[in-house]
Amino acid sequence: MKSSENRPRPTGAGVGPIEILFNPRSGAHDQAQAHACIAAVLAASGRDYRFVPIERPEAIGKLARSLGERARECDGAVVAAGGDGTINAVAQAVLGSGCAFGVLPQGTFNYFSRAHHIPFDTSEALQVLLSEQPQAVQVGLVNDRVFLVNASLGLYPQLLEERENWKHYLGRNRFVAFVAAFFTLMGGYRTLRLQVSTPQVQRKLRTPTLFVGNNALQMEQLGLPLAQDIDRGELAAIVLKPVRRLAMLGLLLRGALGQLGTSGRLLSFPVTRLDVTTAWPFRGRRIKVATDGEIRWLQLPLDFRVSPQPLFLIRPPAAEREPS
């Protein structure tokens, strides 16, 4: 990842071209209609713009980095149009470039954009993009992979994989996500044996899942008392104690109702850095990790930390988050 120490911080709303990256295969939105709206608003504003499809996910890094360098030099912006996964992929590439970064949310949950007060309505989000200033926002890293909302291992990535299978047939909405989680839990899951270390303490844990959050809004909506720690520049580490399936279903319901914080089956604590490894047979090997809803294999040990480089997000001034 490139150093941004000598790169100027972007200021103002910018006057240069806007590069809009989007996944043509993402979500159920009518992209033609959304693009027509975007084109109309930007043309009326007099700003140059270009739609850049992400045809090959493996090529997005090189593409977005190149666009980010040009945007920084021309006082422009790189914009991710899509859900949290698409936003994550573009942010991964532009982090450290010093360019202004924008978001046009088009996903199911949109935790990143909602946490930073960017409207879901495309026209309103474009007004933010055209009128507001870039502000430094916190980025989480796990082995140098960006996460803007959360990163996890164990049961949570399994739930995400099964959710995507269900959405392929039933569409994308919160009810489908809940049903998919129910059947995944009924099918069984394994318990991980982890060794976790912070600068202050080291301990061994048995858990179905380890979840590290970087989104205060998500913490609030799950009912977890860690939103203020994220606002202060930390990450939220959450470890689920081993439980039986029936108790796990109860936790799923509590999460849906925003009451996870009232359960005694969670261990949660703020961290700026967290090192994680596992007992045999995983030691020195890879493990499946979810970052902002995208699944990938990462090498052990895992190093969770707050990035020393912020993302310069075009967003409204800080305000109270939406109610749960």
Neighbouring CB atoms inside 10 A of 37's CB total: 15
Question: What is the rounded distance in angstroms from the CA atom of residue 45 to the CA atom of residue 54?
Answer: 25
Q: What is the DSSP letter of 274?
A: E
Q: What angle (nearest 5°) sits at the alpha carbon of residue 276, between those of residues 143 and 295?
A: 55
Is 96:4 a contact under the CB 8 Å cutoff?
yes
In the chain, domain spans:
18-139+309-314, 145-306
Contacts of residue 194, Cβ cutoff 8 Å, sequence gap at least 6: 204, 205, 206, 207, 210, 276, 277, 278, 279
Task: Give pLDDT, residue 319.
Answer: 55
Is 294:85 a contact under the CB 8 Å cutoff?
yes
**Length of the chain measured in residues:** 324
Task: Give pLDDT, residue 184.
Answer: 56
- Nearest CA-CA partner of 220 in 113, 292, 112, 321: 321
Task: Give pLDDT, residue 281.
Answer: 56
SS3 272: coil
Mind listing the pLDDT tens digit of every residue in the chain (324 residues)? Answer: 444 445 556 655 578 899 999 987 765 447 788 889 999 999 999 999 999 998 877 778 888 888 988 888 899 999 999 888 889 999 999 998 889 999 999 887 889 999 999 999 999 999 999 999 999 999 999 999 999 999 999 887 777 766 565 455 445 555 555 555 544 554 556 789 999 999 888 999 999 889 999 999 999 988 888 999 999 999 999 998 877 766 666 666 666 666 676 777 788 899 999 999 987 555 558 899 999 988 999 999 999 999 999 999 999 987 544 544
Identical topology for domains 18-139+309-314 and 145-306: no
Amino acid, res. 46: G
Question: What are the C-alpha distances in Å from 226 to residues 142, 164, 172, 234?
Answer: 19, 28, 28, 9
Q: For domain 18-139+309-314, which architecture applies?
A: 3-Layer(aba) Sandwich (3.40)
Question: What are the C-alpha distances in Å from 181 to residues 156, 304, 318?
Answer: 9, 25, 34
Residues β-bridged to residue 204: 195
- Alpha-helical runs (H) found in the chain: 31-45, 60-74, 84-94, 111-115, 122-131, 155-170, 174-187, 216-222, 227-231, 245-256
Contacts of residue 165, Cβ cutoff 8 Å, sequence gap at least 6: 180
Bond into 281 cis (ω within 30): yes
pLDDT in tens, 293-319: 889 999 999 999 999 999 999 999 875
Q: Considering the entire predicted model, what is its pTM?
A: 0.83
Long-range (24+ apart) CB contacts under 8 A made by 220-224 are 220/258, 220/321, 220/324, 221/258, 221/324, 222/255, 222/258, 222/260, 222/261, 223/254, 223/255, 223/257, 223/258, 223/259, 223/260, 223/261, 223/262, 223/324, 224/260, 224/261, 224/266, 224/268
* H or E element that contains 299: strand 294-299
Third-level CATH fold of 145-306: Tumour Suppressor Smad4 (2.60.200)
